Amino acid sequence: MDNTDHSEQNNFSPLTVQEVDVDFLPIVYEIIRSVERDFHDNSAKVRESQDCSLKVLELQRKFDVARSQIKRLPGIEYNKQDQLKQFEILSTQLRLKRELLQRYLRRAAQLAVSVFFKGKEKISDIDPGKLNRFLVFLRKFRENLREGINDAKRQLKK
């Protein structure tokens, strides 16, 4: 017999689908198995009948717990049309954010190229120590930019 914490049932915080307890099959199996048994002794029949009644009550309790948990799922109050409308809104938001991210990436790449070429023109005016520090900075910037672009690409693929 699986005991469920009643304090969890009384809590009205939203649940995820994975947290909903809908494991009814073991109890149903036990009920069917006890009904199929054929006892010749009347006292055994009475005892088994009482056990079966308890199992049916336990199944009913699990159904009630599952109903109360399902009512706590986020979005359960919406009908199909509302869910489709919300899905469409979220899909549009996702598409717009992806487009915005692509624009930012293109602009960052343009700025990086611009900085690189402007820096290349000024190299002749810089002393060698500053030039080495600048080249190290550019290499780090390039790596960070590549990582950012790769991260953004992975995000866009999701």
> Which residue has 């304090």 as its token pair?
7
Q: What is the DSSP string of 10-76?
A: H--S---GGGS----HHHHHHHHHHHH---SSHHHHHHHHHHHHHHHHHHHHHHHHHHHHHHTSTTT
Per-residue pLDDT for 8 more than 60? no
Burial 67-98 (b: 16+ CB within 10 A, else e): eebeebeeeeeeeeeeeeeeeeeeeeeeeeee
How far is residue 49's CA from residue 152's CA, in Å, rounded to a whole number? Answer: 63
The confidence score (pLDDT) of residue 158 equals 66
Nearest CA among 83, 78, 84, 64 for reference residue 20: 64
Band of pLDDT at residue 128, cut at 50, 70 and 90 = confident
pLDDT tens column, 21-77: 888 899 999 888 888 877 677 777 788 888 889 999 999 999 999 999 888 888 888
Is this structure's pTM higher than 0.75? no
Give the pLDDT score at 115. 78
